[in-house]
Amino acid sequence: MKMDLLQAATEAYEKAYAPYSKFKVGAAIRTPSGEVFQGVNVENVAYPEGTCAEAGAIAAMILGGQSEVSEVAVIADATAPVPPCGGCRQKLSEFGKGDVKVSMYTLSGEKLEMTLAELLPGKFTAEHMKD
């Protein structure tokens, strides 16, 4: 049975560590094999040393032996769906193609869907580093 990404992101959200901003974020990513990996934001009193939920999910995926993202869900307690920050957009693009769907949710149920290409047009790639 395919795990629900919104449920996985919401479960992660509940465990986020955000004692300073109180802005919790949960993320879940699915790989082509169907495996789901979760991440949370983790703040640190020494700003900006925290980590984002999407980065945590990517790290869990890599630790789990996977290296390709096929779908992403992100949830936060905000008035509108919160997209991944610029750094996380670049990180997600390292492991997913431009047509990967990113679903962003609020706790109240509002949803916004975009592709990685829409979130990060003109992404920096390894091709830019070639001679």
Pairing of β 25-30 and β 36-40: antiparallel
Contact in structure between 28 and 12 (CB atoms under 8 Å): yes
Q: Strand pairing partners for 96?
A: none
Active site residue 110: no
CA 34, distance to chain mean position in Å, is: 16
Dist CA 102 CA 58 (whole Å) = 14
Catalytic residue among 54, 68, 71, 118: 54
Q: Which residues are catalytic?
A: 54
